[in-house]
Chains A and B, each alone.
Chain A
Amino acid sequence: MDKDIVIEIDNLKKKFGDQEVLKNMSLKLFNGENLVVLGKSGSGKSVLIKCIVRLLNYDEGTINVFGKDIRLLNKKELAEVRQKIGFLFQSGALYDSMTVKENLEFPLIRIKKNLTQKERNEKINEVLENVGLADALNKMPSQLSGGMRKRISLARTIVVDPMIMLYDEPTTGLDPVTSDEISVLINDVQKKYKTSSIIITHDIECARATANRIIMLQNGETFKEGKLEEFEKSDDKIIKSFFKS
């Protein structure tokens, strides 16, 4: 396996009942790149990244993360792989019953077990400053706006220094200004933490701002793969319908 490949997916198939959501889906994520997976709602994008962290089991094909077939991993090995992956959920998925600080501490205590309380506090303050919300430390998630929740959620994901980031619709439901800010943050995370990322989106502005490479999904299959410029110049009707704005 190529040393630069961090995730390799081969002929992935996933069905829900009779509905085939992913049909022979293949992709490679290279070290340090932002790969945008673009597609209409219901094209299987979110299912794809949930399969990568084995939140969903797939029917056929293989997923290799850091060269390990994730289907063959036992509970402990899977936990080790998951510790290296940050997952930003569409809804933010902040724990409602905890303050922002407790939300950030939650993965830190469990993954970075050797840190002292002082080091944990420093790390939390650092990531909160990175997402521009240093003053939200003692707030409850219910006191935060949609954009703030996404930022805190991103902070919670990066606080454990993941090597891979999986973003599930990071800008959905946000106003254009906040969406742009989130896109900037995604790029900042890539540069600062040297992460490799898969960004699932149907927001073309987010794709334009963040993509090093794009894969377009259509009916559970790879429809086109290439650089942003190739998509912008394409005459294909489906691609044009995405990139017309």
Chain B
Amino acid sequence: MGKVVDFAEKKSGDFGEKTIATTEKAGGFLTDVADFFIFLTNIANDTFSRGFEFKEFFRQCFQIGNKSLPLVTITGTIMGLVLTIQSRPVLVQFGAVTMLPGMVAISLIREMGPVITALICAGKIGSGMGAELGSMKVTEQIESMEVSATSPMKFLVVTRVWAATLMIPILIIYADAVGIMGSWAGANIKGDVSFVLYFSQAFSHVDFMDFLPAVIKSFFFGAVIGIVGCYKGYNAGRGTESVGKAANSAVVLASLLVIIVDMIAVQITDMLT
């Protein structure tokens, strides 16, 4: 009997501890969510308050846009090339090889270009922002800005978020363009088609409604990457270890959110068309 009571007490004790631990975890999660929304509110407030940091904004546009070009060029070209090489045999089987340029263009413009470029940017830009702001936090640079009567939120976060929001759609459109060029190169491995003919065939299948939703969701991808990268870096812990953690979690969360935003965008587009 005594053993049964001991077992029951032990079990109830375990249950109590687990309940407390779970409650604490839930509380921690809710605090994180609240912090994130406060962060978003601060971005909105500081965007529209006086004294936008234009110089830093253009510097960030250059960092995000120009310095990502080689990576986006390579990714976009390979994306178009691989898609063409993989699709061609199937289309040949169905006697629909003439549909190849249009199919590749629609795939790239609607889905592959935006999502893959956004994921690449989440890796490069999101991690960069997380690591840079995280190390600024660790080395007291953010506090130093604050005591210089400068809002670090305005100088560091608002500029980066807006630069990412504006530059990532441009990178995505560029990736689509080089992707179609890659596709043309892929088509010429086993065929012979002129560049002009390939492009005109590709765009004869694309209409405005293929292009518009993709561009709109690209702005959201950019905003997500900028906000998550800055949030993780700005709220990094104190040690150097936290810089790595901030960069890592920025990439993971931004990539996940890009996929979720894409899913929502596809659903909305589907409902509206």
Residues of A participating in the B interface, judged by any CB pair closer than 8 Å: 50, 53, 55, 79-80, 82-83, 85, 87, 89-91, 93-97, 106-107, 110-111, 160
Contacts and interface: CB of A to CB of B under 8 A. Distances in A.
A90 B140 contact: yes
Contact of B143 (A93, A97, A111, A160): A93
Contacts of B140: 89-91, 93
Contacts of B145: 95, 106
B147 A53 contact: yes
Interface in B125-157: 132, 135-136, 139-141, 143-150
B147 A85 contact: yes
Given A91-B140, A95-B141, A96-B141, A111 B148 contact: yes
A147 to B, nearest CB: 17
A107 B150 contact: yes
20 contacts: A53-B147, A55-B143, A55-B146, A82-B146, A87-B144, A87-B147, A89-B140, A91-B139, A93-B140, A95-B136, A95-B145, A96-B135, A96-B139, A96-B141, A106-B145, A106-B148, A106-B150, A107-B148, A110-B148, A160-B148
A93 B144 contact: yes
A82 B146 CA distance: 9
A240 to B, nearest CB: 33
Contacts of A94: 141
A93 B146 CA distance: 12
Contact of B149 (A55, A82, A89, A91): A82
Contacts of A89: 140, 143-144
Contacts of A93: 139-141, 143-144
Nearest to B150: A110
Interface string B147-190: 11110000000000000000000000000000000000000000
Contact of A83 (B132, B141, B149): B149
Interface in B2-27: none
A9 to B, nearest CB: 17
Contacts of B141: 93-96
B147 A55 contact: yes
> Residue among B140, B146, B150 with the most chain A CB within 10 A?
B140
Contact of A110 (B135, B144, B149): B149
Nearest to A78: B149
Given A80-B149, A89-B140, 9 more contacts: A82-B147, A85-B147, A89-B143, A93-B140, A94-B141, A95-B145, A96-B141, A97-B132, A107-B148
